[in-house]
Structure 1
Amino acid sequence: MDEEATLKRIYKIGDIVQLRAENPSFKPITLNGDTSVLILGKATYKLSKVL
């Protein structure tokens, strides 16, 4: 198991599930029935610095 985590959004397109990172430098991950993932949590709040 990899020891990294990134914030992703989950999209369901027909029978396909896709994970898309908030960071555009990461490619989307398309899941099928053979792929196993672990969801660690859900982002519910965003903090931003005011300039």
Structure 2
Amino acid sequence: MFVGKASFHMLTAFLTGYDQHALRHGGPGLTGWHDWLVARRGRDCNHAWPARSST
């Protein structure tokens, strides 16, 4: 898939679109995304993901 210039903004736009489409059609979307990132890194951080909170 071509999304134009590679940037953080384009990545977040793509992931937000994916999440919303999946949720609209009964899929899990990015549920668990934050937990996966924390597990992968080994600790939490105070950075916010520019999307809705799952809590």
- Is the strand fraction higher in 1 or 2? 1
**TM-score under structure 2 length normalisation:** 0.25
**TM-score under structure 1 length normalisation:** 0.26
